[in-house]
Structure 1
Amino acid sequence: MQDILTVTFNPAVDMSTATPAVTAGPKLRCDAPVFSAGGGGINVSRAIRILGGHSRAFVAAGGTAGVKLGDLLAEEGIARIPYPAPGETRTNVAVIEGESGDQYRYVMPGPTWGEADCALMLDNLCAMVSPSGLVVLSGSLAPGMPVDVIRRIMQRLGTDGPRVICDISGAPLANLCGHEGCGLELLRMDHDEAEEIEGGPLASREDSARFARDLVSKGVARTVIVARGPDGSVLATAEGCVHASGLDVPVDSKVGAGDSFVGAFALALAMGKDATTALQWGTTAATSAVTTPARELCRKPDFERYLPECALSDLAV
């Protein structure tokens, strides 16, 4: 199996708790907190491990929260490549209100990176990759990181470097889609992100496929995937477009579905499977993830049970 290196630029220690009611003013008595390691790349490594694979996790962390993060990853058996961040790793807080069941999520920015910090980090990251492996860039950037950091990484790795999978959002995603010839192996985004990039609605599967195919034609990535929620996912390559069906399952939480998708997709590619099979794996893992509570990702027994039901169909666009 090919080496998989996941990258988390702005990890977090996620603290979750519960309280009877969230109101302003009085002290809110909470349950004992539960801590977990958070961040897109970390969750991708976690999903790969759940499904029986192995990856290395490049994690930029610092301060006492960074030490806590490392301990949490060690407890889970995730092989971490630590890199010192220029400040204290963020701690995010999630509070569930007992009366309503609503979850309140407080997300911190993380340490601020300077230009020199970023340049040194890229040097170290590029030294860690296996030229014949897979690199997964997932999650948010830290404050101060350049919006074009993904394209900078691709330029450093070169055309003979590893295959790179990217799942980011916001301005960095728009920057990627606005330039030709980046050369990613895979770019994944959700339906809302795709519509924001398009500047208009993508109502049908065919609309999503045309949008994704245009990005492939520009050389942004060899494969582009648009996740359409319950309607499954659309994949475009130079050879054509494919849809993977979503399954009708009870939804507990959509948190972690995207990371589960990317983890399963990366694992399938690392095992030598083709892109359409990897699409099926990713869609099935995302389906499994939405049936679990917010703190969980996919579950292997559910993944194995749902996989035969995930149908693939060609799209004519």
Structure 2
Amino acid sequence: MTPILTVTLNPTVDLSIATAQVLPDRKLRCTAPQEDPGGGGINVSRAIAAMGGQSTAFVALGGAIGTKITGLLAAQGIGVVPFPAPGETRQSLTVDDLASNQQYRFVMPGPCWSASDVASALSQIARALPEGGIVVLSGSQPPGVPEDFPARLADHLAPVRARLFLDTSGPALLHLMQRKHRAADFLRMDDLEAEELAGRPLPTRRDTADFAQELVVLGLADCVLIARGADGNVMATREGRWVAEAARVKIASKVGAGDSFVAGFTWALARGLDLPQALQHGAAAASAAVMTPATELCHGEDIEALLPQCPLHFV
């Protein structure tokens, strides 16, 4: 089994509450908060654990909230490689408005990193991974972490022959495109991020597959994955292009769907499945995640049940 190391530089404790209606200038009576450890890489590790798999979470932690995250992850059986964050770990808040069935998400920035923090993290990530493993870098970068961090991480992992799965957005993604730097073995983004990067609309699966393959040819990654929401997930390599359908399920919350996709895809690869099969497992995991409320992520039994509803097609 290939070892998996997830990396979360900007973790959070996710607080999820519900209230009858979100209105200004009044006290809003809420449900008891649900607390979950959050951040992209942490969510990937949690989803892998829900599938019966194993991974190790490299997490930057600081203060009392950082200590709480350690305990929450230990309770879920997830091994942690802690890295000393330069400040208190952040919290995030999700509020469900029961009257409108709308969800509000409030995300804090996290502590500011120095250049020495960045250099130390890069070295420790490379040391934490067994040779030939898979590293998943997912989630937002904290203030102070440079845009070229994913590219620098890829360089640090080369000596241990690790494969890098990069799920990023914003300035970091734009930096990779502008510099045409090899970002990772696997690069994932959603449809809005892809359109922003492409500088043009991508209305169809074929348009998305064309752009994904452009990024492969440019050398950003060997495999590019683009999520199209309910229209499925597109994957392109030099050899081919596929789409995995999204299962038709009742949506409770879209929180964590992308992280669940990454978990399903990565865990499939770790077990020796090929890329199209991994794409199908990722699509089933994302579909399973939207069935659960708030930050609960996917359930392993739902993924297995939804696999037949996520067929593969060439595109």
Structure-2-length-normalised TM-score:
0.96
Partner of 1:128: 128
Contact 1:250 1:291 in 2 (8 A): yes
Aligned runs of 1:179-190 on 2, under 5 Å?
179-182=179-182, 184-190=184-190
Partner of 2:44: 44
CA distance in 1, matches of 2:287, 2:167: 18
Segments of 5+ residues of structure 2 without an aligned counterpart are none
Aligned runs of 1:1-150 on 2, under 5 Å?
1-150=1-150
Partner of 1:312: 312
Q: Please tell me whether residue 243 in structure 1 is matched to residue 235 in structure 2.
A: no
Q: 1:86–1:180: structure 2 CA closer, same or farther, 3 Å change rule?
A: same
CA distance in 1, matches of 2:203, 2:95: 34
Partner of 2:173: 173
Contact 2:150 2:183 in 1 (8 A): no
Partner of 2:199: 199
Deviation at 1:138, TM superposition (A): 0.4
The alignment's C-alpha RMSD in Å is 1.4
Q: How many residue pairs are counted as aligned between the two chains?
A: 315
CA distance in 2, matches of 1:160, 1:81: 18
Partner of 1:215: 215
Deviation at 1:228, TM superposition (A): 0.9
Structure-1-length-normalised TM-score:
0.95
1:233-276 CA-partner distances (Å, limit 9, x unpaired): 11111111111122222222211111110001000111111111
Segments of 5+ residues of structure 1 without an aligned counterpart are none
Contact 1:179 1:220 in 2 (8 A): no
Contact 2:12 2:91 in 1 (8 A): yes
Contact 1:183 1:222 in 2 (8 A): no
CA distance in 1, matches of 2:17, 2:287: 26
1:14-73 CA-partner distances (Å, limit 9, x unpaired): 112233333333333333222110100000001111111100000001011111111111
Deviation at 1:93, TM superposition (A): 1.6
CA distance in 1, matches of 2:154, 2:121: 14
Please say which of residues 215-224 and 90-99 is displaced more in the overlay. Answer: 90-99
Please say which of residues 38-47 and 124-133 is displaced more in the overlay. Answer: 124-133
Deviation at 1:181, TM superposition (A): 4.3
Q: 1:66–1:201: structure 2 CA closer, same or farther, 3 Å change rule?
A: same
Contact 1:212 1:225 in 2 (8 A): yes
Contact 2:14 2:295 in 1 (8 A): no
